[in-house]
Amino acid sequence: MPGSSSPGSSRWRPRARSYHLGTEFAVFGVGNSDWTHTFHKVPRMVDNTLAKIGAERIMDAGFANVKRDLIGPWEAWSEQLCMTLSGTTEKHGKANITDRLGLDVRIEKNRLNALPQALGAGTEYKAGDYLPVQARNPDATVSRTMRRFSLSAEDVMSVLSSNKHFIPTHPIAIEHFLRSSVELAQPITLRQLATLATYSPPGSPEHIRLEEMQTVYQALLDARYSVLDVLEEVPLLPLPFGVYIDLLLPLNPRLYSIASSPLASPQIVGLTFDLLSSPSLSGHGTFSGVASSHLFTRLLGSPLSCTVRATKLPFRLPASPLTPIIMLAAGSSIAPLRDNFARSAPRFSKKGESLARVV
């Protein structure tokens, strides 16, 4: 099945054929509500079409909006799917939730230096390619996390064992780990909220507050409350640091359109970005984009962890300089409009060739 950004994906249909009795299916769709005309259109179409041509739907389709909450709906739907497939109707109790969470973390007072990574020599790109940038959490967010768990910049953590690729099992400075390895500002999921409640004694102010938050979870989601935001509202909650980092997702690279031409220099890359920094909707400090704020603080000559990703779309300049070009910029598409193609014009003008109009 094609991705949502693939040409013609909204016109794609499963091959119409009859399914034998006993063919079962379940659908979970992920979309972005910014794309109003195609939002969840394909997964709904697949769900309805499979049912019409004879397959058996074993449970209702699930849906997630990446702009709001991707993880929460998936956790709830996948748990229900596992229960359906196993034939059980009993969900895990609260005791089971705490049993399977948490990492055995050893914290030492020490110093450990970490060197940033830089783009390797010899890497080249073409106009229209992307640059995934490894983001860094802002200093203010890292400091808030350190204060919440009474940690200092010199403290070193050692995780005895973990099957998560982003959790290091070798000694590492906690400050560096929080800055470069995990998402600190990701909106909290309903399951994470329920997990926090299991670490508060029943009837305690912390337990009552966390139970109240679960009843108004949608409001927390609208305000983009993170796990850290919630923990700051229940400062006496005795949540172990190992459980906290086990709840977090890996800090993923942010994808930028390259905003420069390789004709000037195949190893010099330009980016166009908007600094995201505003008072947090949750009321906890300032919400800063992890990538844009990191890029904004880079100085000339500062290393940047990134790589080049070739575009899979036919997003290249035409071979003939006489081919007219019409460009519509929306969102990050301003980058190639502003730099890529405009700066690629010299490849023709330097040769003395005439150029078609660019609108």
Note the pLDDT tens digit of each residue in 78-113: 888 888 888 776 654 444 444 446 666 666 654 433
User: What is the DSSP code string of 342-356?
Assistant: HHHTHHHHTTT----
Average pLDDT, whole number, for the chain? 78
CA distance 146 to 287: 17
pLDDT at 112: 34
What is the C-alpha to C-alpha distance for residues 252 and 290, in angstroms, rounded to an integer? 10
**126-157: buried (b, 16+ CB within 10 Å) or exposed (e) per residue?**
bbbbbbbbbbbbbeebbebbbebbebeeebbb
Q: Among residues 4, 73, 3, which one has the least CA distance to residue 38? A: 4
44: Cα separation from own chain's centroid: 24
* Residue 166: predicted pLDDT: 87
> Strands 130-133, 56-57: parallel, antiparallel or unpaired by DSSP?
unpaired
pLDDT of residue 104: 67
DSSP one-letter code for 249: P
Contact 189, 72 (CB under 8 A): yes
Query: Which parts of the chain fold into alpha helices (H)?
Result: 41-52, 71-86, 94-99, 139-148, 174-180, 190-197, 205-215, 217-222, 227-233, 241-247, 290-296, 334-335, 341-344, 346-349
Low-confidence ranges of the chain (pLDDT < 50): 1-4, 6-8, 92-100, 110-119, 332, 340
- 0.95 surpassed by pTM: no
Burial of residue 291 (number of CB atoms within 10 Å: 0-12, 13-18, 19+): buried
Cα 317 to Cα 350: distance, rounded to the nearest angstrom: 16
Tens of pLDDT, residue by residue over 38-51, are 888 899 999 888 88
pLDDT at 248: 92
Tokens of 228: 């850290």
What does the chain come to in residues?
Answer: 359
CA–centroid distance for 56 within its chain = 33
Q: How far apart are CA 279 and CA 298, in angstroms?
A: 22
